[in-house]
């Protein structure tokens, strides 16, 4: 089914959440009643708006009447505008500036790379804590502007944006805890380390499908770059050396690791892969999504010792 021609945010909102299409639900934040104006609003007398609005794939190109957005969306906390046709940041700003309680915003798969995000526009996003810009092809300049204007941003999604490098802003973003930057083309560790400089409080870093070829960093430097990192995903990275796995021990708070699909582990059986990795990462409590029990760790460490019992001393891992 073809997308409809360009429509406004308010037009789509009225259509989707009219009483005929969206049954009224009682309760705090579940609906809002706005009396008809004397002039006769083109909208329905009542829209049954939940606090979470999902308006993806609706052909939205612009905001529409800002006063009506403000009247109907004062209680909205989450807004999904993914896969629309928004290409002007000014139109996005008109929407967001009239949704004062907004904390989650999804702008994925909108062609926003076609316009420049000015700081005055980005200021309207200041209350957003979770921002999704997957497949928006947002430039690093745009990301820097957002980071400057969103002091409470905690989660940022930058997947599928064709990044080959990382550009550091002039100031860091201490509030960010989670970064999804999967399915880009970040292969060199010199680019990944910049993320530690940008986001010193980072708790979770998802780097899946980036083909990172090595963790080329001194141990003490890794600890300084990512002092708070608790979880890292290197799914389908290009790691080929056990030394890279050992490097993960340098992250002082690391507890969770995902390492599926890396070249290093291909020659081993499923059992060997898990046990050898667990034995090399003594502080990790969850591997590839599964909890590492005390019994499994003991079995893995015994397996590790047996595995290297006949190996020449100079080839035995330090661990």
**% residues pLDDT > 70 (the chain):** 86
Report which of 216, 188, 206, 93 is spatially closest to residue 146, judged by C-alpha positions: 93
Average pLDDT over residues 288-315: 85
The answer to whether the beta carbons of residues 82 and 132 sit under 8 Å apart is: yes
Average pLDDT over residues 182-195: 97
Note the pLDDT of residue 88. Answer: 96
Average pLDDT over residues 111-133: 95
CB atoms within 10 A of CB 136: 22
pLDDT of 181 > 50? The answer is yes
Furthest-apart CA pair in the chain: how many Å?
89
Least confident of 30-34, 69-73, 118-122, 179-183: 30-34
Average pLDDT over residues 56-60: 97
pLDDT of 240 > 80? The answer is yes
Count of residues in the chain: 319
Cα–Cα dist 281/286, whole Å: 10
Q: Token pair of 247, please?
A: 């490097």
pLDDT of 94 > 60? The answer is yes
Average pLDDT over residues 180-186: 98
pLDDT of 25 > 50? The answer is no
pLDDT of 254 > 90? The answer is yes
Note the pLDDT of residue 319. Answer: 60
Tens-digit pLDDT profile for residues 136-155: 999 999 999 999 999 999 99
- Look at the pTM and tell me if it is higher than 0.85: yes
Domain 49-154 fold = 3.80.10
Least confident of 20-29, 47-56, 201-210, 295-304: 20-29
Report which of 16, 131, 152, 9 is spatially closest to residue 70, judged by C-alpha positions: 9
pLDDT of 4 > 60? The answer is no
């Amino acid at each position: 089914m073809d997308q409809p021609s360009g429509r406004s945010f308010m037009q789509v909102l009225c259509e989707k959440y009219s009483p005929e299409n969206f049954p009224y639900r009682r309760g705090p934040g579940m609906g809002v009643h706005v009396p008809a104006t004397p002039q006769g609003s083109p909208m329905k007398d009542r829209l049954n708006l939940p606090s979470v609005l999902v308006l993806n794939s609706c052909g939205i190109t612009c905001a529409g009447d800002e006063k009506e957005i403000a009247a109907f969306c004062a209680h909205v906390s989450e807004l999904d505008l993914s896969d629309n046709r928004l290409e002007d940041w000014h139109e996005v700003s008109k929407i967001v500036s009239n949704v004062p309680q907004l904390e989650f915003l999804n702008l994925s798969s909108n062609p926003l790379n076609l316009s420049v995000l000015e700081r005055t526009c980005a200021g309207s996003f200041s209350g957003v804590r979770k921002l999704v810009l997957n497949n928006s092809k947002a430039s690093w300049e745009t990301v820097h502007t957002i980071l400057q204007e969103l002091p409470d941003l905690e989660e940022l999604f930058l997947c599928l944006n064709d990044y080959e490098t990382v550009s550091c802003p002039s100031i860091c973003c201490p509030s960010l805890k989670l970064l999804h930057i999967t399915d880009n083309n970040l292969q060199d560790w010199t680019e990944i380390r910049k993320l530690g400089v940008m986001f010193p409080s980072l708790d979770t870093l998802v780097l899946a499908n980036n083909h990172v070829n090595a963790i080329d960093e001194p141990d003490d430097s890794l600890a300084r770059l990512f002092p708070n990192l608790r979880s890292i995903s290197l799914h389908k990275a290009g790691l080929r050396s056990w030394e890279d796995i050992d490097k993960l021990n340098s992250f002082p708070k690391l507890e969770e690791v995902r390492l599926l699909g890396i070249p290093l582990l291909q020659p081993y059986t499923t059992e060997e892969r898990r046990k050898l990795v667990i034995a090399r990462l003594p502080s990790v409590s969850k591997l590839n999504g599964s909890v590492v029990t005390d019994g499994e760790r003991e079995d893995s460490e015994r397996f590790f010792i047996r595995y290297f019992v006949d190996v020449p001393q100079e080839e035995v891992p330090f661990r």
